Amino acid sequence: MKKHYIFTQTLFQVLVLFSLSMGVGFLLSGCGILPSEQGILDVFNETTKPPTFTPLPPTSTPQDTPTAVPLPFQPKNVLEPSVSIHEHFDKVQSVAFSPDGQLLASSSSDSVVMLVDSVSGKWVRNFSGHAGWANSISFSPNGELLASGHGDNSVIVWDVGSGEKLETFTGHTNWVNSVVFSPDGSLLASGSSDNTIKIWELSTGLLLDTFTGHTGRVNSIAFSPDGKILASASGDETVKLWDMDTRQEMATIEGFLSGAWQVIFSPHTGLLASVSARQVKLLDPTTGQEVYTLDQFDSWVNQIAFSPDGYIIASANKDGSVGLWEAGNGQKLSTLQGHSEAINSVAFSPDGRSVAAGSDDGTVNVWAITGNPLLATLDGHTQWVNSVAFSPDGKYLASGSADQTVKIWDARNYTMAHNLTGHTESVNSVAFSPDGSILASAGSDQLIKLWDTANFEELNTLTGHGYAIRSVAFSSDGNTLASASGDATVRLWDVTTGEEIYNLGRQIAGVWSVVFSPDGKRLAFSSLGRIVMWSIPEQQELFNIQAHGDWVTQVAFSPDGNLLASASRDGMVKIWDVNTGQEIFTLRGRSDWVNCVIFSPEEEIVVSGSSNYRVNMWQFTEEDVSLVLGGHADWVNGLAFSPNGQVLASASNDKTVKLWDLTLAFP
């Protein structure tokens, strides 16, 4: 089983992994960067009136009714919001997280569609250029587009990155109440108070079809995970299913007294949930039969959301609260409070660890419902932080920055213990000797400085490189230091004397990263697309391979020395056999330029940092990302594990170092 998570800063308190069950897809669906080069690099109650159904042939087979499972957090009676956003001036009608969880969008009766940082609540932008209430919003699957449905009968598609209005769809004759993208992102569906559903093709902007049949306003629409079915909920007390291949009505499900307010597919079972008054009915979309009903709600329910694993339901309640419920049996888990009026919309973050809601009181609240592995943020540098390293005893953390300093942090209380000066340009790499007695720092000033960690006084300055030094590493016995430079050389130095003892010769391009194998017999370094493995005893190349399609920014040995990980500006992280130079596999994960990569001390985890501000983590036996740590506001340049592997440090262009408790992430 694979585990997929995104953690965002300051939103959580106690973290336990959600195990994704088998089955259906979701409906919700130490390297350095040189400042001079930055611009170049990048059991359920019966219903009182069972629904009636007009069947058609099934298109898929949902799973059985979910059973109770261990929950990812201990329920609390009341949870107060961790973030409150008070930017709207009227009722908030809809909220939605971006697919990566970094952004939160909201729409309001004040006609404003707004984007904020989902972690801090900081305003990002308003989308302007429309009239009438903004009733519904939806992100495209890739997160690049945002659609909004309005009281002026229009549907607008926006560019999330720029805020530019890309398309305006007109054709509805009454309010647009619901908009949703197809799972492949090619179509946009809109449901309206004119009783119709319209299907728009995004690539051409054409209206492909109009679905008619409802005799009341269409309140909500939802695509099945495979995109083959569109469900619609209406004030005519029915739910309809539409075949997206034939664009014909498949079925009508009746019996939703007071109207059907919402439809949504469960990501765990594939069942279709419909909301009506105080009930949520779970239906088999292939037969239309009711599977079970949840009717333990304390208040009229306006909307629900499933957690990404499908085990928890969040309800947006008319009494101004959000309820958390176990989807399998309807047991109430907790109540989220903080709103003073009815809640219209609720959404889980993609990692399932926070819930957002929009209310008639004009506010958007975000609650943390599980834990955050962020231990601390170390502030103090005034420029980019390029590299971090723990001392072997775990007592200190060193960070090197473009502000020309090396800062020594007490890793036990997260305070700065020493500030080391002497470099005249950016510090790009820091490394402790294996016994912890010496710290090496290297910079764009072409200098390597050695520091005595007993008092953090400078011991020596090593000179010889003709261009910025990007990486330094100690041999396993601590007697030799290797350095990699933009002058296209790798040099070996005697730590005791400070003398250069070997130059591996000029490479075809600047060298980004250098690292000794754990046994000290091999040296790996990287350059423009290439990885070189060098034998120290034999003083010769073992292999020189074209490994990536762009600069290889860092290489790292596994703890046993049998594997090598590489990170590249081509967006890939690869694992190699150090004996043969053969690629074993590529670790998959959305990324831009990957700036750094390391193994955990136990070799169970591979971690990378990239220009998309995120830290990706893989369980070593899985090729897909297991965990994503979010919270930095700029490129992640350097990573380091504490000696026991329980804490991860990340260095960023946002001038901070963050410390993460991985015992929470991988218990």
pLDDT in tens, 45-59: 222 233 333 333 333
pLDDT bucket at 622, cuts 50 / 70 / 90:
low
Cut 0.75: pTM above it: no
Give pLDDT, residue 635. Answer: 92
Lowest mean pLDDT among 108-112, 174-178, 354-358: 108-112
How far is residue 575's CA from residue 623's CA, in Å, rounded to a whole number?
10
Which pLDDT score is estimated for 623? 66
How many other C-beta atoms can be found within 10 angstroms of the C-beta atom of residue 204? 9
Question: What pLDDT was estimated at residue 28?
Answer: 28
Please report the pLDDT score of residue 664 as a whole number: 67
User: Lowest mean pLDDT: which of 45-59, 187-201, 270-284, 523-537?
Assistant: 45-59
Q: Is 374 in a helix, a strand, or coil?
A: strand
How long, in residues, is the chain? 667
CA atoms within 13 A on the CB side of 279: 21
652, 393 contact by CB (below 8 A): no
Chain position carrying tokens 């079970």: 292
Q: How far apart are CA 349 and CA 98, in angstroms?
A: 8
Q: Which residues pair with 137 in a beta bridge?
A: 148
Q: Which amino acid is at 410?
A: D
Nearest to 70 by CA among 21, 6, 35: 21
**Please, what is the end-to-end C-alpha distance for the chain in angstroms?**
16
Average pLDDT over residues 231-235: 96
Q: What is the CA radius of gyration of the chain?
A: 28
Q: What is the pLDDT of residue 634?
A: 87
Which residue matches tokens 């070593």?
620
Do 298 and 255 meet the contact criterion of CB atoms below 8 Å apart? no
pLDDT at residue 183, as a whole number: 96
